A and B are shown apart, each in its own frame.
Chain A
Amino acid sequence: MKSNDISINETKYIIESLKQGTRLDGRKLDEIRKPEVVLGDNGYVELGWGQTKVVIKTSSEIVKPFEDRPNEGLLVINNELSPMASIKFDERSVDEVMINRIIEKSIRKSNALDLEGLCIKTGEKVWLIRVDLSIINFDGNLIDSCCFGSIISLIHFKLPNYSLDTNGNIKVYNLDEKPPISLSVLHIPITLSISFFNPLNDEENLKSNNNYEISVFDATMKEELVRDSYLVVSVNSNKELIQLTKLGGIPIDSVELVNLCQRCYAYAEELTELIKTTVKRKEEEEFKRLNLRLLKSVDTR
């Protein structure tokens, strides 16, 4: 984020209005934009988070597992910031690595996906689940939207059914031969980022006991260009913190940080509910369309 392409006037305008508790798009300081989710084919998700648009596709293939983990499947999360989304992303930036790290921490390291269930034959064949994120448009808050989209896509994705014969050959069935299997997602991590703004100078922030810093949920692109620091919180509906990341920037009082985490939990419950209802509705639609009931009776498993 080297080139700060926002004018001094605009910077001051944003901070002045934040001081009075208003934002450019009329939201409250702790209000997030309501995500719009469109589910497509197997594992395909279109997510609109305000003007930020992300398309996520999950796919699978059969590979050899790593030697040190012979009975675990693999999960690869792949995000590339193309210049299509914003001119800011013209070169491979640190942002890209940071977004990837946070998605990996919140989904892979927290064991949101049961990897052992992806094993076909120990040491030889496992499923590799690949989540590809393409950012279509950028208006702030990539981290939240990418994490949210990835987890929906994983829940929405169905693995093709397969069988092993006595010689150890794998037969993968078409989707209409045998009903596909859902991935076992153990919990739903919700990631939210909070931006901090310092309305006064550095001395006031570091030396006084007053906490004037303004915290804002779900920043837009302009707000992101102005912010002094940010915190990323991942939490699930079981009241577990999955990861916290605040990489430098202006220091924030610890009590405030704890309160923000509590606030995030409230949002996490809301968003988890949204995911569950959306996926359920889609599944019902699909069920009606394909009339899988017929096939289900054939399935002997």
Chain B
Amino acid sequence: MPRLELYSPEGLRVDGRRWNELRRFECKINTHPNSSDGSSYVEQGNSKIICMVQGPMEPKLRSQMDVNKANIEVSISIAHFSTFHRKKRSKNEKRIVELKTAIENTFENSIISHLYPRTFIQINIQVLAQDGGLLAGMANAATLALIDAGIAMYDYVSCVSAGLYDQYPLLDLNTLEENDMSYLTIGVIGKSEKLALLMLENKMPLDKLEPVLGLAIAGGHRVRELMDEEVRSHGKHRSQRQ
């Protein structure tokens, strides 16, 4: 059998998508109303992520307190069964620490944190299944959970990945594509073209950065719309019930 064809001459990818199509993006908010202040569940293709937010609350330790703004802490746990090969991952693995700081720093600036001085916001992310776009999925789940918790934010942070196959930029990669392509993950703020998050880990020609970024930003805006739809429909549902 020849090597897996990631992008056919007809313009179809391994899972039948075109170059600029997102995977199925489904999200729910307020999935765990009793155990947390805000919660969400995000499915991006076959990646499945739960996020729960506790807070703003009194910090447990004095060191977690900031007199001027809220202190945000993210904890990530990735299920051992989330990938094809069952593998134990420790929380202190360098890659996980990096993802954690990325998400913490992103939300420190998009939450209006000066409204919550001397408080502590805990974001717990649980990854159930991974099929590409790990960072993107986690950040999207965190955005939704923070909205559900009623924490004031400037705007949505919507994340998506985009890669480069040969000459062609492709949107929202799955694991098969991620393994064979250079790709970047971005986090866009609202409808703007400003990036809070940008991560590229493998080689990409410098001239190709612009088209890939452009595609990713368009994808990010689409993700924002999908998240917004869910938030609004949930809000409507809530207001009718009361």
Q: Do A and B come from the same complex?
A: yes
Q: B209 contacts which of A94, A98, A253, A261 (Cβ < 8 Å)? A: A261
Q: B6 contacts the other chain (Cβ, under 8 Å)?
A: no
Q: Does B194 contact A (CB under 8 A)?
A: yes
B97 touches A97 (CB 8 A): yes
- Of B101, B194, B210, the residue contacting A251 (CB under 8 A) is B194
B155: interface (CB < 8 Å) = yes
**Distance, CA A94 to CA B97, complexed state (A):** 8
Output the residue of B112, B155, B194 with the most chain A CB within 10 A: B194
Chain A residues with CB under 8 Å of B110's CB are 206
Task: Kindly list chain B residues whose C-beta atoms are within 8 Å of the C-beta of A239.
Answer: 205-207
Task: Tell me which residues from 177 to 223 in chain B have a Cβ below 8 Å from any Cβ of chain A.
Answer: 184, 187, 189-190, 192-207, 209-210, 213-214, 217
Closest chain A CB from B155 CB (angstroms): 6
| A114: min CB distance to chain B, Å | 15
Residues of A within 8 A of B202 (CB): 109-110, 242-243
Among candidates B98, B195, B203, residue contacting A254 with C-beta atoms closer than 8 Å: B195
A257 near B195 with CB under 8 A, answer: yes
- Tell me, in angstroms, the Cα distance from A132 to B184 when the chains sit together: 30
The distance in angstroms between the C-alpha atoms of A241 and B209, with both chains bound, is: 8
**Which residues from chain B contact A262 at a C-beta distance below 8 Å?**
206
Residues of B within 8 A of A253 (CB): 192-195
CA distance A133 to B42 in the complex (A): 41
Q: Across the interface, do B106 and A243 meet the contact criterion of CB distance under 8 Å?
A: no
- Whether A203 is near chain B, meaning CB under 8 Å from some CB there, is yes
B97–A251 touching, CB < 8 Å: no
B206/A244 in contact, CB under 8 A: no
Partner of A265, one of B95, B184, B206: B206
- Chain B residues near A207 (CB-CB < 8 A): 154-155
- B8 contacts partner chain A, Cβ-Cβ < 8 Å: no
Q: Does A281 contact B (CB under 8 A)?
A: no
Bound state CA distance, A239 and B189, in angstroms?
29
Among A101, A110, A251, A262, chain B packs the most CB atoms within 10 A around the CB of: A251
Say yes or no: A249 contacts B105, CB within 8 Å: yes
> What separation, in Å, do the CA atoms of A262 and B214 have in the docked complex?
16
Contact residues of A between 6 and 34, Cβ < 8 Å to B? none
Give chain B interface residues in 123-144, CB to chain A under 8 Å.
Answer: none
From the candidates A104, A105, A248, name the one contacting B197 in the complex (CB within 8 A). A248
Which A-chain residue is minimally distant from B207 (CB atoms)?
A239
B225 part of interface (Cβ distance < 8 Å)? no
Q: Are B209 and A258 in contact (CB under 8 A)?
A: yes
Partner of A100, one of B94, B192, B194: B94
Tell yes or no: B107 within 8 A of A by CB: yes
Once the chains bind, are B203 and A248 in contact (CB under 8 Å)? Answer: no
Which B residues from 72 to 109 make CB contacts under 8 A with A? 94-95, 97-98, 101-109
Beta-carbon nearest neighbor of B210 in chain A: A258
Instruction: Flag if A248 contacts B200 (CB, 8 Å).
Output: no
- Contact yes or no, A206 B194, CB < 8 A: yes
A-binding residues in B (CB < 8 A): 94-95, 97-98, 101-110, 112, 154-155, 184, 187, 189-190, 192-207, 209-210, 213-214, 217
Residues in chain A within 8 A of chain B (CB atoms): 94, 97-98, 100-101, 104-105, 109-110, 202-203, 205-207, 209, 228-229, 231, 235, 239-255, 257-258, 261-262, 265
Q: What are 29 sample pairs from A and B whose C-beta atoms fall under 8 A apart?
A: A94-B97, A97-B97, A97-B98, A110-B203, A202-B112, A206-B155, A207-B155, A209-B192, A229-B105, A229-B109, A231-B198, A235-B206, A240-B204, A241-B205, A246-B197, A246-B198, A247-B101, A247-B199, A248-B104, A248-B108, A248-B187, A248-B197, A250-B109, A251-B196, A253-B192, A254-B194, A257-B195, A257-B213, A262-B206
Further 8 A-B residue pairs, CB within 8 A, beyond A251-B196, A254-B193, A258-B213: A94-B101, A241-B206, A248-B109, A249-B105, A250-B196, A254-B214, A261-B206, A261-B209
